A and B are shown apart, each in its own frame.
Chain A
Amino acid sequence: MKKFASIILASVALFATSAKAEYKFNFVMHSDTNNAFWAAVHKGFKDACAQVGADCQMLTLSGDGDQQEQLQNLESSIAQGVDGIVTTITNPTIFDAAVDEALAAGIPVITANTDDPEGAAGSNRLAYVGQDLEAAGYELAATLSKQFPDGPVHVLIGVADMNQSWAYTRANGIARFMDDFKAANPDREITYEKIESGMDLSTVGNRVASYVQTNPNTTAYFDVGFWEAGAAQGIRNLGYEPGQMLLAGFDLVDVVFEEMEKGYVQLTVDQQPYYQGYMSVHQLYLMNKYGLSALDINTGKAMIGPDDVAKIRSFKGMSVR
């Protein structure tokens, strides 16, 4: 029994031996570690922490999008007594009390990647470092619309998870453009539909493939994540030629580049996730060290097409983009 106890105490003591840093920062995110997108956020977070010598911890979830678990991680970070918290706000209400509690305890909270759908009006967080999700959705649809063929247009919008604010906010931006596009072209038949498309490549591939079999007139598919790459695989299996149906989505991940090179994906938006991890830490550091105030940073809505792939891929090995 003594032996067991000492093994356990020793391993716990190991956890505790991290050097005493000046500041401790936590990043509370809404995904599990298997989601490829988050690697660049994490890299930015770690690089910034190393630069300012902070002790940093990124808290992931066992289940992608489990908001109750994310709330618990946020509350645990407050209990740890850290010097700053970066979090995502994936639900308009459930994180409000915890954010207020952190601020009351003197812990600055900024959001990154995903903000409250109402922004500063919906949450007391001090700033947001990330993409304007709705605007990025609008821009994505506007840019792809230049490739729409003449005649009637039917668009499918894949809302990865209807319960996640980042997902439906982007989808709302896409839908808003489609409404504007329809108003600008009153003589054309322009329609769109939203489905809950899922959050892994094969699920999205299957759902989109099923959809287009019953709706073969679908002109384009928009995904609110990077899973349009799954849709590309799905329609390829149905015998679609590259470009026969337009595909667009968000974020730069390898599988999207591969589909762009094959000609199946036409467009993606870069939200520069490295900045989201990196700039949040620097903000928290400067706020703690010099009392500077937080500021919003729009990390971008750069449109990336097949022509940009070679250049971006040359940076890819650095896990930054």
Chain B
Amino acid sequence: MNTNNLKSILMRPEISTFIMFVVIMTGFFIANENFLSARNIRIVMGITPEYIIVAIGIAILMISGEFDLSVGSVFALVPMTMVQLVHQGMPPWVAIALGLSIGIAVGFVNGFITLRFGIPSFIATLGMLYIARSLTTVATGGFPPPFPHELPNELFVFQFEVFRASLFWMLGVAFIAGIMLHRSNLGNWIYSTGGDTAAASSMGIKTNNVKMFCFILCGFLAGFAGMIQTFRIEAPLPSQGYLLELESIAAAVIGGVSLFGGVGTIFGAAIGAILIRFLESGIIMARIDAEWFRAGLGSLIIISVVFNTWVVRRGENMVHKNQAEENENSSQKNNSVTESKDE
């Protein structure tokens, strides 16, 4: 492998996020050695898979050129529905299937409104953010219901030594999404649709269908992740997933997904989500005072994206410089060849 290959890898935004992640982890470890203790890793990794699954859905949708602000509300609505259906006497697996289909339905409605009426997905899903949150409160019937233990929560959140079963579900989701996005025609269509919808359309890609698929997938994954969270804490909370939409978009952007579509990876979104969770934990572990908590988190989010952009730009400069040097070398070679011919 020559240096050019190495540089082109470093230039990838998700790799620079990863470097940032390692630097931050080291910093917080210096601040409090318990930061990387098995107990803390266990706490953070208990929560992180849920957020990564949402970030994956958001990232794919953003790559296709759309947004979903309703994921936080769907994250609460889907598990609340499942719990209430079980309380109504429905078999657990049927309740799970029906609950997840609500996530799919919300994704479909988001896509339908956005695409059919040609309005920005930002607006359509902002409306859905409020609607789904309100439906969650309605579904509680006034007071949050207890968690029905006939639901198979151990299958999704069983606590191993350090990790939970949800980590493996997340890896499964990431693997399938990764294959789909990076190794299939559908993935190519998603990138083309997000990169330049008109061009993709003229190439014969059914861009509306592609976007609709991404909306549905995003709604489904948000609901699935919400279900895992409810299963983990064994309580359906109407407040669950509050502000999650912004955090998922932040995770995707930190991981190198473009706000303008057409660019991004599953790995990037996942590493972005992990970074945010560890930042949050690290700030607490470093014993930063309450008033500074959000300021600290916000600054670190900005620093990480600035760092990310800086590394990418630096990489680009290096590659340009190398190309310039190569061009110079080759033109010198050509010159010397012509000179030798002349002789």
Interface residues, chain A, with chain B CB atoms under 8 Å away? 1, 4-5, 8-9, 11-13, 15-16, 18, 24, 33, 42, 55, 57-60, 62-63, 65-68, 71-73, 75-81, 91, 93-94, 161-163, 168, 196
Contact = CB atoms under 8 A, between A and B. Distances in A.
Given A76-B281, A163-B144, 16 more contacts: A4-B23, A5-B23, A9-B27, A12-B27, A13-B31, A57-B284, A58-B290, A59-B284, A60-B293, A62-B294, A67-B239, A68-B233, A68-B239, A76-B43, A79-B43, A93-B146
B143 interface: yes
B118 to A, nearest CB: 33
B32 interface: yes
B105 interface: no
Interface string B256-288: 000000000000000000000000111011111
Contact of A15 (B37, B43, B287, B291): B287
Given A9-B30, A12-B30, A67-B237, A76 B284 contact: yes
A11 B146 CA distance: 44
Contacts of A65: 239
B36 to A, nearest CB: 10
14 contacts: A5-B23, A13-B27, A15-B286, A16-B286, A33-B291, A58-B290, A68-B240, A72-B47, A76-B43, A79-B34, A79-B37, A79-B285, A80-B34, A80-B285
Contact of B284 (A62, A73, A162): A73
Contacts of A55: 287
Contacts of A1: 311, 314
Interface residues of B, number: 49
Nearest to A79: B40
Interface in B4-27: 23-24, 26-27
Given A13-B30, A62-B243, A78-B39, A24 B287 contact: yes
Contact of A162 (B30, B32, B142, B294): B142
B307 interface: yes
Nearest to B19: A1
Nearest to A46: B289
Given A1-B311, A9-B23, A57 B287 contact: yes
A222 to B, nearest CB: 17
B229 interface: yes
Contacts of A59: 284, 290, 293
Nearest to B241: A68
Contacts of B153: none
B20 to A, nearest CB: 8
Contacts of A78: 39
9 A-B pairs with least C-beta separation: A12-B27, A16-B31, A79-B40, A15-B286, A63-B242, A58-B290, A75-B43, A76-B284, A60-B290
Contact of B242 (A66, A77, A79): A66
Contacts of A80: 32, 34, 284-285, 287
Nearest to B303: A8
Interface string B153-178: 00000000000000000000000000
A94 B234 contact: yes
B238 interface: yes
Contacts of A42: 290
B290 A33 contact: yes
B7 to A, nearest CB: 13
B28 interface: yes
**From A72, A76, A161, residue with most partner B Cβ within 10 Å:** A76
B139 interface: no
A161 B238 CA distance: 10
B310 interface: yes
Nearest to B142: A162
A194 to B, nearest CB: 8
B290 to A, nearest CB: 4
B39 A58 contact: no
Contacts of A81: 34
A71 B307 CA distance: 31
Contacts of B24: 8, 12
A157 to B, nearest CB: 13
A38 to B, nearest CB: 9
Nearest to B28: A12
Nearest to A71: B233
B126 interface: no
Contacts of B26: 9
Given A8-B24, A16-B31, A162-B140, A57 B239 contact: no
Contacts of B307: 4
B137 interface: yes
A94 B285 CA distance: 22
A72 B47 CA distance: 8
B43 A12 contact: no
A74 to B, nearest CB: 10
A3 to B, nearest CB: 10
A58 B229 CA distance: 25
B235 interface: yes
Nearest to A101: B39
Nearest to B235: A94
Contacts of A12: 24, 27-28, 30-31, 282, 286
Given A4-B310, A94-B234, A57 B290 contact: yes
A227 B289 CA distance: 27
A77 B39 CA distance: 11
Contact of A68 (B28, B30, B40, B237): B237
Contacts of B242: 62-63, 66
Contacts of B143: 162-163, 168
A13 B24 CA distance: 11
A42 B289 CA distance: 11
Given A33-B290, A58-B289, A80-B285, A163 B40 contact: no
A16 B47 contact: no
A198 B102 CA distance: 27
